[in-house]
Amino acid sequence: MNALSKPVLADPLLCAAMAALADLVPSYVRADINLKHRVCNAMQAELDAVQYSLDQDRRIGECVYQAGWQNAVLRLALAGMRELLN
């Protein structure tokens, strides 16, 4: 899947992760478009695993889901950060 195949803003989890990434790494905002595409692709590659974990958290309970949401956002942001360092 590439960065243009799925609108990032259509997925609230990816949107939150992009916002977290921009907050944690302010230089990301000024990065060139090719690097932003690679970061987005890295985050989308991690998305299925993160969503699976989040679905498991939802089954346990609301408070676990809320904590899982924050974890999911940070896992996706971390995937983006790894791509920024490569």
Supply the range of the domain harboring residue 19: 11-85
Residue 59 lies in a domain: yes
Instruction: Give tens-digit pLDDT for 17-62.
Output: 999 999 999 999 899 999 999 999 999 999 999 999 999 999 999 9
**CA of residue 9 relative to chain centroid, distance:** 11
Give 5 or 38, the one with higher predicted confidence. Answer: 38
**Residue 44 lies inside a defined structural domain of this protein:** yes
The answer to whether residues 74 and 20 touch, using CB atoms and an 8 Å cutoff, is: yes
Predicted confidence band of residue 11 (pLDDT cuts 50, 70, 90): confident
Cα–Cα distance between 77 and 21 in angstroms, integer?
5
**Tally of structural domains, the chain:** 1
Residue 4 lies in a domain: no
Residue 56 lies in a domain: yes
Q: Note whether residue 1 is domain-resident.
A: no
Give this prediction's pTM.
Answer: 0.82
